[in-house]
Structure 1
Amino acid sequence: MTRIHLHLLSDSTGETLENIAKAAIGLFENVEAVRHFWPMVRSDVHLDRIMEDISANPGLVLFTLNNHQLRRRLETRCRALGLPHVAALDTVTDALSNILGQETRNRPGRKHILDEAYFARIEAIQFTIAHDDGVGHENWEEADIVLAGVSRASKTPTSIYLANRGYKTANIPLVPESPPPRSLFSLRHPMVVGLTVSPERLIQIRRNRLLSLNQAPETAYVDLEKVQDELSFARRMFADHGWPVIDMSRRSIEEAAAAIINLFNDRLLAEGGSEA
Structure 2
Amino acid sequence: MSGEKVAQPAYFHLHLVSDATGETLINVGRAACAQYSNVLPIEHVYPLVRSMTQLERVLIEIEGNPGIVLYTLVDKEIRERLKQRCRELGVPFLSVLAPVVQLFQAYLGGEPQPRIGGQHALDATYFKRIDALNFTVMHDDGHLTEDLEQADVVLIGVSRTSKTPTSIYLANRGVKTANIPLVPNVPLPANIEKLKKPLVVGLVASPDRIVEIRQNRLLGLNAANPSASYVDREAVSEELAYSRRLCARHGWPQIDVTRRSIEETAAAIIGHLSERRRRSIVET
Map Cα deviations across residues 69-109 of structure 1 (whole Å, 9 max, x no partner). Answer: 4323322222222221111233333333334445433379x
Please say which structure displays the higher CA radius of gyration: 2
Contact 2:202 2:254 in 1 (8 A): yes
Using the TM superposition, give the Cα deviation of residue 156 of structure 1 relative to its aligned residue in structure 2, in angstroms.
Answer: 1.0
Distance 1:139 1:41, change over 3 A: farther
Pick one of 201, 219, 227 that aligns with 2:228: 219
Which stretch of the first structure deviates more once superposed, 111-120 or 75-84? 111-120
SS in 1 for 2:69: strand
Distance 2:208 2:31 in 1: 29
Matched, 1:258 2:267: yes
In structure 2, the partner of 1:197 is: 205
Contact 2:156 2:181 in 1 (8 A): yes
Distance 1:135 1:218 in 2: 23
Contact 1:207 1:218 in 2 (8 A): no
Map Cα deviations across residues 108-132 of structure 1 (whole Å, 9 max, x no partner). Answer: 9x85972134443333222222111
Contact 2:74 2:115 in 1 (8 A): no
Matched, 1:45 2:62: no
Distance 1:92 1:133 in 2: 40
Cα RMSD of the aligned pairs, angstroms, is: 2.6
Which sections of structure 2, spanning at least 5 residues, go unmatched? 1-8
Using the TM superposition, give the Cα deviation of residue 256 of structure 1 relative to its aligned residue in structure 2, in angstroms.
Answer: 1.2
The within-5 A match list for 1:1-276 is 1-106=9-114, 114-116=121-123, 117-214=125-222, 215-216=224-225, 219-272=228-281
Distance 1:141 1:39 in 2: 40
Using the TM superposition, give the Cα deviation of residue 169 of structure 1 relative to its aligned residue in structure 2, in angstroms.
Answer: 1.7
Contact 1:146 1:170 in 2 (8 A): yes
SS in 1 for 2:85: helix
Which stretch of the first structure deviates more once superposed, 116-125 or 201-210? 116-125
Using the TM superposition, give the Cα deviation of residue 3 of structure 1 relative to its aligned residue in structure 2, in angstroms.
Answer: 1.9
Using the TM superposition, give the Cα deviation of residue 37 of structure 1 relative to its aligned residue in structure 2, in angstroms.
Answer: 0.9
Distance 1:138 1:11, change over 3 A: farther
Contact 1:12 1:41 in 2 (8 A): yes
Using the TM superposition, give the Cα deviation of residue 248 of structure 1 relative to its aligned residue in structure 2, in angstroms.
Answer: 0.5
TM score, norm. by length of structure 2: 0.85
Using the TM superposition, give the Cα deviation of residue 176 of structure 1 relative to its aligned residue in structure 2, in angstroms.
Answer: 4.2
Using the TM superposition, give the Cα deviation of residue 50 of structure 1 relative to its aligned residue in structure 2, in angstroms.
Answer: 1.8
Distance 1:153 1:252, change over 3 A: same
Report % sequence identity. 50
> Following TM superposition, where does structure 1 have runs of at least 4 consecutive aligned residues deviating by more than 6 angstroms?
none
Which sections of structure 1, spanning at least 5 residues, go unmatched? none
Distance 1:245 1:154 in 2: 13
